[in-house]
Amino acid sequence: MSGQYQFYLWDNKETLLTELHLYWFWELMPWAHVFYDGSVRTSQDFLAWARAGHSRIWAIYHGEQPLGLVWLNNFSGRAAYIHLTSFKGAHRHHTVPAAKEFMHRVFNSPDHLDKSRAFLHTLIGVTPASYGLARKYAKACGFVEKCTIPEALHLVHENRFDDAVVTCATRANFGG
């Protein structure tokens, strides 16, 4: 991987990312599409969600330009759910390679209990079926659509249910 992107972890200690960064990221994020279930509706909700610590959150930068956020949660065995979002104004020619570089790094990070094994082998995504651009982005990043679950997602801001498209990326696809 080229190493042209920087990944900054939100750790609640404000070492590299501060709460002001999170407020700024909220303004740059298409939040209604990211938190389509309505669980996060305001910048204060977003900050409370980040502080709760249920997700490992990284900001992705190219130099001084913030490109987006990625977070992992619902860890189980050697799998986790991944959530990717690009900020308004971020260019796809950077967001796709940055996401791929992030996944390459994640898939090649050693397990803290057994350094001879990788920590994660599978990343799982769930995207509303009607979010065509998000699905195209996931495919460009190396995810494969595995199944569709009928009417599994509630899109609160659209007051309707949508099918869930489940995707995954595996360590084998990223040099693992």
Q: From first to last of the 176 residues of the chain, give the pLDDT tens digit.
A: 557 999 998 877 767 888 899 999 999 988 878 889 989 999 999 999 998 889 999 999 999 899 999 999 999 999 999 999 989 888 778 999 999 999 998 998 887 777 777 789 999 999 999 999 999 999 999 999 999 999 999 999 999 999 999 999 999 887 65
Query: 162: left (phi > 0), else alpha (psi -120 to 50), else beta?
Result: beta
Is the full-model pTM beyond 0.75? Answer: yes
Query: 149: left (phi > 0), else alpha (psi -120 to 50), else beta?
Result: beta
Tokens of 22: 């999170």
CATH level 3 topology of 6-174: Aminopeptidase (3.40.630)
Give the closest residue to 130 by CA, choosing from 60, 20, 36.
36
Q: Which amino acid is at 55?
A: S
